[in-house]
C-alpha cells in the first residue's frame, strides 16, 4: 500500500512497525461547538484510511482524542480557551458543553458510517500523563518558566519545524504576529499555563509548576504515546495542523523520548471550502450535518460527495455538487437493488470482473484514490461483459471501504409512509409535470398535515419526516 507522507512530501510504500498491524492516531474534535462538514471531511478521510488497511488484512489500532481543555482561540498561545469561552457565552458548565458536543459528534460519525476509533480519550482524563512528559522535558533542559507558564524552548532541538519545512530565520525577521513577551523565541510554545494567565479558568489542576492547565499540543503527545507507545506508524489530521500543532507535537515528543522519528508517516486531509474559502468554526459560517439532514439529504450523500474528491485536494462544497452526489449515490443504490436477484455465493470471478477488482484495489492502494475507485465501480456496472452476480459481489467488496451502506440495500425501497402517502406523492409529481402548481402545493400541504415534508431532489421527490 502506498500513502503520501507529509514529512517527506511524497507517496511512499507503507512499511508497518509491526507486521500487518497499523497504529494510528488522529487528532479529534475540540468539543465547544458542533463539528462542521469540513471537520467531518477529515474524519471521513481517516475512516477510509482505516477501512482500506483493514480490507487488505491489517489490524488497525485507531486512537482519537477529544479536546476538552487547552485549545485556545489563537494558535500562538494567545486568546481564550475555546471551551471556557463557550461556557461563558452559554451559561453552561464546560463539562456539560463537552459532553453535549461529544455526543453530537459521535452521532454525526455514526450517520456517516465512520467507524468508532478503537480508543477515544479525553484530554481532561490525561492530565497526569501530560505532567509526566513536561517533567521529563524539564529534566532534559527543554523548558523554561516565564510569567508563571512553562514553555518549550525550540532552540534546544536542532530540527524544529521539519514537518512544515519552516524557515526559522525568515520567520523571526518577518514575524508579524504579536508575540507573547515571555517567549524567548517567538515559536516557543506553552506546555503548562498557570493561573497567572486566566484567573477565572474553571478547569485547573495542581502541577509541580502551580495550579493551572495544559497547553493544547501536549495532550496529543501524551495520549498517543499512552495508547500506541513511544513510536507508532501514522498520525493524521487536517492540513491546518501542520505548521503549529503537529510541529509542536513532534518537537516535544521527540525531545521527550529521544525517538527520531516519533511517528513514521504523517497524513493530512485538505480543506473543504465554501464560497469564502476554508470552512471554519471561528468564522461562524459553517454547515453542519444536521442542517443537511434537515434539508432532506442523507448523511451518505455527503459521504459520497467527499469520496468524489481525493483527500489531498481541496473540495468545494455547494448544494449543486451535493445534489449530484446524491443522484449518483441513489443510482448506485438502485443498481444494487436491481442486482439483488442475481446474488450467488460463488467466489470465482471471471477475468473481466477480476480486472475491475484490481482497478479498485490499485486506486485505493495508491494513496486512497477514491475518485478513481468510484470510477472503476461505475465502469464495471456498465460493462455487459461482467455478470450480474459478479457486479453485486464487487459492489459489496467495494462497500467495505466506501461504506455507503450498499450491503444493506433491500429488495423493496424503504418506505417511511403508507401506500396512501406515496400515492399522494406520485399525484403531486404528476401535477408538477402538468405544471399544475396549485394542485402540487395543495398536495404538499396535505402531506405536511400527515407528518411529511416533500423534498424535490434530482432523483425525484421524496418524503422526509416533518
Ligand atoms: P477542530 O475541532 O477545530 O480541532 O478540528 C477538527 C479537525 O478538522 C482537524 O483535524 C482540522 O484540521 C480539521 N478541519 C478544520 N477545518 C477544516 C476544513 N474546512 N476542511 C477539512 N478539515 C478541516
Ligand atoms: Zn492533535
Q: Are strands 263-269 and 10-13 parallel, antiparallel or unpaired?
A: unpaired
Q: How far is CA 219 from CA 89, 127, 132, 246, 292, in A?
A: 25, 8, 11, 11, 32
- Longest CA–CA span in the chain (Å) reads 80
Ligand 1 pocket test: pick from 35, 45, 240 the residue with the most ligand atoms within 8 Å of its Cβ.
240
Closest atom of ligand 1 relative to the 236 alpha carbon? 10
And the C-alpha cell for 445?
400541504
CB atoms under 10 Å from CB of 197, counted, come to: 19
What integer pLDDT is reported at residue 180 of this predicted model?
76
Average pLDDT of the chain? 91
Question: Of 280 and 445, which is predicted with more confidence?
Answer: 445
What does the pLDDT look like over 359-388, one tens digit per residue?
A: 999 999 999 999 999 999 999 999 999 999
Quick check: 20 pLDDT over 50? yes
Q: How confident is the model at residue 199 (pLDDT cuts 50, 70, 90)?
A: low
Quick check: 174 pLDDT over 50? no
Contacts of 59 (CB under 8 A, 6+ apart): 20, 21, 22
The torsion defined by the Cα of 57, 59, 65 and 66, in degrees rounded to 10, comes to 70
What integer pLDDT is reported at residue 173 of this predicted model?
43
What is the distance of C-alpha 74 from the center of its chain? 21
Question: Of 108 and 78, which is predicted with more confidence?
Answer: 108
Q: Are strands 460-465 and 315-316 parallel, antiparallel or unpaired?
A: unpaired
Residues with CB under 6 A from ligand 1: 27, 29-30, 38-39, 41-42, 237-238, 240-241, 269, 271-272, 278-281
Lowest mean pLDDT among 14-18, 162-166, 229-233, 346-350: 346-350
What share of the chain has pLDDT > 90, as a percent? 73
Q: State the distance from the centre of ligand 2 to the C-alpha of 28, rounded, in angstroms.
A: 7
What backbone torsions phi and psi does residue 108 show, to the nearest 5 degrees?
Answer: -60, -45
Ligand closest in space to the Cα of 244: 2
| pTM higher than the cut 0.85 | yes
CB-count exposure of residue 327 (10 Å: 0-12, 13-18, 19+):
middle
Which residue has its alpha carbon closest to ligand 1 atom 9?
238
Quick check: 175 pLDDT over 60? no
What integer pLDDT is reported at residue 319 of this predicted model?
95
On whether 281 is known to bind a ligand per the annotation, the reply is yes
Phi-psi region of 429 (alpha: psi -120 to 50; beta: other; left: phi over 0): alpha
What integer pLDDT is reported at residue 78 of this predicted model?
66
And the C-alpha cell for 139?
529534566
What integer pLDDT is reported at residue 110 of this predicted model?
97
Of residues 390, 436, 366, the one with CA closest to residue 3: 366
Closest atom of ligand 1 relative to the 281 alpha carbon? 3
User: What's the rounded Cα separation, in Å, for the pair 204 and 244?
Assistant: 24
And the C-alpha cell for 101?
458536543
Question: Of 56 and 68, which is predicted with more confidence?
Answer: 56
Quick check: 281 pLDDT over 80? no
Which residue has its alpha carbon closest to ligand 1 atom 7?
39
Ligand closest in space to the Cα of 252: 2
Residue spans of beta strands (DSSP E) within 2-58: 2-5, 10-13, 21-26
Ligand closest in space to the Cα of 249: 2
Closest atom of ligand 1 relative to the 279 alpha carbon? 19
What does the pLDDT look like over 115-151, one tens digit per residue?
A: 999 999 999 999 999 999 999 999 999 999 998 899 9
Give the HSE-up count for residue 160: Cα atoms under 13 Å, Cβ half-sphere.
21
Quick check: 343 pLDDT over 80? no
Which residue has its alpha carbon closest to ligand 1 atom 15?
39
Angle CA(268)–CA(272)–CA(273) in degrees, nearest 5? 135
CB 41 within 8 A of CB 292: no
Q: Mapping DSSP to helix (H, G, I), strand (E, B) and coil, where does residue 31 land?
A: coil
Quick check: 248 pLDDT over 60? yes
Ligand closest in space to the Cα of 27: 2
Which residue has its alpha carbon closest to ligand 1 atom 6?
29
User: What's the rounded Cα separation, in Å, for the pair 220 and 249?
Assistant: 7
And the C-alpha cell for 94?
464546560
User: What's the rounded Cα separation, in Å, for the pair 25 and 302?
Assistant: 24
User: What's the rounded Cα separation, in Å, for the pair 64 and 208?
Assistant: 28
On whether 220 is known to bind a ligand per the annotation, the reply is yes
| CA dihedral sign of residues 271, 275, 280, 286 | negative
CB 189 within 8 A of CB 248: yes
What angle, 0 to 180 degrees and rounded to 10, lies between the N-to-C axes of helices 127-139 and 247-257? 70
Closest atom of ligand 1 relative to the 30 alpha carbon? 2
* 16-37 residues labelled b (16+ CB within 10 A) or e (exposed): beeeeebbbbbbbbbbbbbbbb
Residues in the chain: 466
Residue spans of beta strands (DSSP E) within 59-141: 59-66, 119-122
What integer pLDDT is reported at residue 455 of this predicted model?
77
Closest atom of ligand 1 relative to the 41 alpha carbon? 21
The torsion defined by the Cα of 158, 186, 272 and 278, in degrees rounded to 10, comes to -160
And the C-alpha cell for 459?
432523483
What integer pLDDT is reported at residue 46 of this predicted model?
98
Q: State the distance from the centre of ligand 2 to the C-alpha of 217, rounded, in angstroms.
A: 6
Describe the strand order of the beta sheet including 232-238 as a list of residue ranges. 119-122, 59-66, 21-26, 232-238, 263-269
Of residues 391, 290, 405, the one with CA closest to residue 342: 391
Quick check: 186 pLDDT over 70? yes
Of residues 1, 15, 28, 88, the one with CA closest to residue 236: 28
Amino acid at each position: 500500500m502506498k500513502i503520501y507522507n507529509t514529512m517527506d512530501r511524497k507517496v511512499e510504500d507503507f512499511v508497518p512497525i509491526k507486521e500487518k498491524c497499523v497504529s494510528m492516531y488522529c487528532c479529534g474534535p475540540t468539543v465547544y461547538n458542533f463539528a462542521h462538514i469540513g471537520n467531518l471531511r477529515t474524519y471521513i478521510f481517516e475512516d477510509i484510511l482505516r477501512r482500506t488497511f483493514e480490507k487488505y488484512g491489517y489490524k488497525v489500532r485507531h486512537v482519537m482524542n477529544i479536546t476538552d481543555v487547552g485549545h485556545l482561540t489563537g494558535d500562538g498561545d494567545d486568546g481564550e480557551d475555546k471551551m471556557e469561552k463557550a461556557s461563558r457565552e452559554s451559561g453552561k458548565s464546560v463539562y456539560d458543553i463537552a459532553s453535549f458536543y461529544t455526543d453530537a459528534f459521535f452521532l454525526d460519525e455514526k450517520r456517516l458510517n465512520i467507524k468508532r476509533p478503537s480508543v477515544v480519550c479525553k484530554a481532561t482524563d490525561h492530565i497526569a500523563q501530560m505532567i509526566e512528559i513536561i517533567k521529563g522535558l524539564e529534566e532534559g533542559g527543554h523548558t523554561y518558566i516565564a510569567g508563571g507558564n512553562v514553555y518549550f524552548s525550540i532552540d534546544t532541538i536542532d530540527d524544529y519545524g521539519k514537518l512544515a519545512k519552516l524557515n526559522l530565520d525568515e520567520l523571526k525577521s518577518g514575524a508579524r504576529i504579536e508575540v507573547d513577551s515571555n517567549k524567548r523565541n517567538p515559536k516557543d510554545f506553552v506546555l503548562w499555563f498557570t493561573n497567572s494567565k486566566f484567573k477565572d479558568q474553571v478547569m485547573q489542576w495542581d502541577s509541580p509548576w502551580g495550579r493551572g492547565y495544559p497547553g493544547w499540543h501536549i495532550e496529543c503527545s501524551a495520549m498517543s504515546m499512552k495508547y500506541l507507545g513511544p513510536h507508532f506508524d501514522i498520525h493524521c489530521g487536517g492540513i491546518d495542523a501542520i505548521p503549529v500543532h503537529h510541529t509542536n507535537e513532534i518537537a516535544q515528543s521527540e525531545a521527550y523520548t529521544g525517538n527520531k522519528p516519533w511517528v513514521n508517516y504523517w497524513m493530512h486531509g485538505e480543506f473543504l471550502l465554501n464560497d469564502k474559502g476554508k470552512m471554519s468554526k471561528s468564522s461562524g459560517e459553517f454547515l453542519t450535518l444536521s442542517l443537511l439532514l434537515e434539508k432532506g439529504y442523507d448523511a451518505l450523500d455527503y459521504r459520497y460527495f467527499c469520496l468524489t474528491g481525493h483527500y489531498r485536494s481541496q473540495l468545494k462544497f455547494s448544494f449543486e455538487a451535493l445534489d449530484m452526489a446524491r443522484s449518483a449515490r441513489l443510482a448506485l443504490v438502485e443498481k444494487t437493488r436491481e442486482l439483488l436477484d442475481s446474488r450467488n455465493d460463488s467466489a470465482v470471478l471471471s477475468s473481466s470482473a477480476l480486472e475491475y477488482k484490481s482497478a479498485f484495489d490499485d486506486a485505493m492502494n495508491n494513496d486512497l484514490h477514491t475518485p478513481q475507485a468510484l470510477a472503476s465501480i461505475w465502469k464495471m456496472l456498465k460493462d455487459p461483459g461482467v455478470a450480474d452476480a459478479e457486479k453485486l459481489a464487487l459492489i459489496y467488496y467495494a462497500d467495505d471501504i466506501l461504506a455507503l451502506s450498499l450491503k444493506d440495500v433491500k429488495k423493496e425501497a424503504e418506505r417511511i409512509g403508507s401506500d396512501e402517502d406515496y400515492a399522494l406523492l406520485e399525484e403531486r409529481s404528476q401535477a408538477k409535470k402538468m405544471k399544475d402548481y396549485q394542485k402540487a402545493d395543495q398536495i404538499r400541504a396535505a402531506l405536511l398535515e400527515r407528518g411529511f415534508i416533500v423534498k424535490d431532489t434530482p432523483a425525484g421527490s421524496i418524503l422526509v419526516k416533518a
